[in-house]
Amino acid sequence: MRTTAVFWLLSGGFFNVAVMAQSSGKLYGSLDGYRTDYHHIGDNLIVRNRTDLGIYIEGGSYYKVCSIDRSQDDKFKYGYWAVELNDSLFLNGFRQDMGVGYVYAEKIEENLYFLGSLKLRNQQQKKRGENDTEYELNQLLFPKEQAFDRCYYKLNLETGQLMYLRRSDMLELLSSFGDLLQQYASEKFPDHNQTIQKYLEELKVKTRPFQNR
């Protein structure tokens, strides 16, 4: 891909993302398109942080992807499923039912992992009959402050299933790596994002040599 300048670093959940301006990137219209690498090329693309005020008012994800000339803004906001820029993948949160903005995703084996808003997690918990009383109380008392809360999700590329990561999912994910499994099982705060981030980083290093994509 063509790149002319490095502008800044974004914190992408569990990796830092080098963001570059005037870069060409792959524009995916769907999950099937990503699976088969069917894409269009977009030129002069940029990823930037959304403002805290924008997130506070609208909710959604941390990043915005657009072209420098601001053409096709609606397409970037609502249409594209994902954008791959400088070998970094950004999923459109709107297409994942998480509100506007993009999330930075990392591929580990046949899944994508990313930090997203709690909107989808709460919907899934309600369908399962699970309750998060503390969160619901905070939503009632301080609804806008929850716009910055995040949890980890896993998107299965084969089935298309998108679920928030629970402790049981992490135990299953680490089951083939006895050392990591034992360490995770002894963690004091296994559900915290920082803890999950640490083990996803370890897992990515361990599985990278076996990834084809």
Partnered with residue 104 across adjacent β-strands are: 90
The packing angle between helices 178-185 and 193-207, to 10°, is 180
Mean pLDDT of 123-152: 60
Three-state secondary-structure class, residue 141: helix
Looking at residue 121, what is its pLDDT?
66
Distance between CA 52 and CA 121 in Å, rounded? 22
Distance between CA 132 and CA 146 in Å, rounded? 13
Compare 42 and 124 and report the one with higher pLDDT. Answer: 42
Residue 96's Cβ-side half-sphere holds a number of Cα atoms within 13 Å equal to 35
What would the two tokens of residue 211 be? 């990834």
pLDDT band at 41 (very low <50, low <70, confident <90, very high): very high
Compare 29 and 120 and report the one with higher pLDDT. Answer: 29
Boundaries of every domain in the chain: 5-165
Looking at residue 213, what is its pLDDT?
45
Distance between CA 172 and CA 100 in Å, rounded? 31
pLDDT band at 39 (very low <50, low <70, confident <90, very high): very high
**CA torsion angle for 152, 122, 110, 173 (degrees, to 10)?**
60
Residue 18 has pLDDT above 60, yes or no: no
Residue 4 has pLDDT above 90, yes or no: no
Distance between CA 199 and CA 209 in Å, rounded? 17
Mean pLDDT of 76-98: 89
b/e 133-149 (16+ beta carbons within 10 angstroms → b): eeeeeebeeeeeebbee
